[in-house]
Structure 1
Amino acid sequence: MPHGGRPLLAGYFVAVPEALRGPGLPRVARLTTASDCLIDRVPQDDCWFATAQEALAACAPVRVPARARLYALLVPAGHATDLVADIRAAATYEPVLLANLDGPGSRAPAREVVEGGHGIGWEVLGYDHGLMHSWLCNDLYRGAVLGLGVDTDERGLLPDQDTAERVAAWANGLGDTKPVTWFPAALIEWDTPIESRFAPVATDPPPPRTPWWHRLVPSHSPHEAERPPAR
């Protein structure tokens, strides 16, 4: 088994898969990620829930896009300590993540919390002052493809834990990425529409979401993903 060990539940969230394209990025029609940078959360960004029931209840009173789905993020036990350390160092308010990964009763195997869901793949994330950043929005994809021989699927996800461990270790060794500890994480999806009191928002796929770095540079086109600014 890879050194990360068994996956632990980090939290639940509801998100809307979106298209991704741009220089140095994979071209995918349904990017799926726990990162706040690349897809929208429901009811708002940076929403983590302790249970699936809490996540679904929070979505009921808001307009939910038809593509929105419920997800669980799982973090290998060997990486949970580093993630918790980054959260505590940032002094941000993360009651769900801290309770699941470092609170009383934490460290329970995740298999009990994913009933009805199915694993869709792995990604590489890093926590930075309230945001989950993805390796895909940090100019790492092309280097990993060329240097490690890895690639993503039609959702922008890696195939297994071993591959995600390799990418995370490689990214942490570069020393010129965001000041985060990159870690592998698995996504579980419940492939059923989210119930809402309102009619679903239009189902036509939207243009790719403006990456986080474009929010700092208004002159960029919102439909063109580019390399983030120099760090």
Structure 2
Amino acid sequence: MIEGLPAGDGVPGEMLLAGYFVAVPESLNGSSLPRAAGLTTASNCLIDRLPEDGCWFGSASETLEACLALPVPAGARLYALLVPSEHVDGFTADILAAGTYEPVLLAHLDRRIGGPVREVAEGGRELGWEVLGYDDGLLHSWLCNNLYEDGVRDLGVATDDDRGLLPDREAAVRVAAWANARGDTKPVTWFPAALVEWDTPIEGRTGPAAIEAPVRRAAQPWWRRIF
């Protein structure tokens, strides 16, 4: 379990699990963007997701099982997105207003549905923070909305060179509040969120399981031993 995940519901400061996804970090060095050797984000705009953009899963095992039949790049990893409880309402309100189909996100985050508060699977590590906004089925990042240079200038924030992530919750909260006060971004409610990563490579058709046993699926994948 990641430290800080909730034992209850709705207490300010708690972190709620939004969902799991698989992504492939990519180098970033564009105009008006930070340098990042392996940009990592839950946004649909900046890196590749598996099996497709916008695909969320309710559990780590379900996520990894969905990748078994896919060609999986070596850099693909399992991630979880965590959202502070006091910032969940704006996120879910945008999902409901869009009328898009997000059963995983709503089941985890919308307390009116009455689903259980889920713990994050063991073995992950928190990478850092980002600022996101939901728009008609997509998660946008503050980085893809031409806000980075202004944020550095106006707020003095900085992202790390490895992942392009903000260092802590305080910085992400400040960026989200600042972005929400502007009128020149996507029409979304910006919110801070933390990313958790599992280091073990994803097993897929071209991944570790396929290399070790090309004829048949591994009898006991690593994720079944952990989860």
Q: Tell me which interval the TM-score lies in, with the shorter structure as reference length.
A: 0.7 to 0.9
Which residue in the other structure is 1:83 paired with? 91
Kindly provide the CA deviation profile for residues 139-182 of structure 1, in whole angstroms up to 9, marking residues without a partner as x. Answer: 00001101100000020000111110000000001111110000
Do structure 1's residue 126 and structure 2's residue 136 form an aligned pair? no
Q: Residue 148 of structure 1 is aligned with which of 145, 155, 159? A: 155
* Corresponding residue for residue 216 of structure 2: none
1:139 and 1:4 mapped to 2: Cα distance?
Answer: 30
- Please list every run of 5 or more consecutive structure 1 residues that lacks an aligned counterpart in the other structure: 201-231
**Normalization by structure 1: what TM-score?**
0.82
The answer to whether the Cα contact below 8 Å between 2:23 and 2:50 also exists between their aligned partners in 1 is: yes
Inter-partner Cα distance in structure 2 for 1:151 and 1:174: 19
Residue 46 of structure 1 is matched in structure 2 by 54
Aligned length: 196
Taking the TM superposition and a 5 Å limit, the aligned residue runs for 1:137-176 are: 137-153=144-160, 154-176=162-184
Please state how far the C-alpha of 1:27 moved relative to its aligned partner.
1.1
Which residue number in structure 1 is paired with residue 219 of structure 2?
none
Once the two structures are superposed, residues 1-29 of structure 1 have per-residue CA deviations (whole angstroms, 9 ceiling, x without a partner) of 9x962110000000000011111110111
- The correspondence of residues 73-222 of structure 1 with structure 2, limited to 5 A, is 73-102=81-110, 103-106=113-116, 108=117, 112-153=119-160, 154-199=162-207
Structure 1 residue runs of 4 or more that deviate by more than 3 Å after TM superposition = none
TM-score (normalizing by structure 2): 0.83
Q: Which amino acid aligns with 2:49?
A: R
The C-alpha deviation readout for 1:111-157, integer Å capped at 9, x for no partner, is x3141100000000000000000000000000110110000002000
Q: Aligned residues: percent identity?
A: 67
Residue pair 1:72, 1:114 contacting (<8 A) in 2 also: no
For 1:174, what is the secondary structure of its paired residue? Answer: coil
Alignment RMSD = 1.6
**1:117 partner amino acid:** G
In 2, Cα distance between the equivalents of 1:123 and 1:198? 30
Q: Distance in 1 between matches of 2:59 and 2:144?
A: 28
Q: 2:69 aligns with which of 45, 61, 72?
A: 61
The match for 1:21 is 29
> 5+ residue gaps in structure 2?
5-10, 209-227
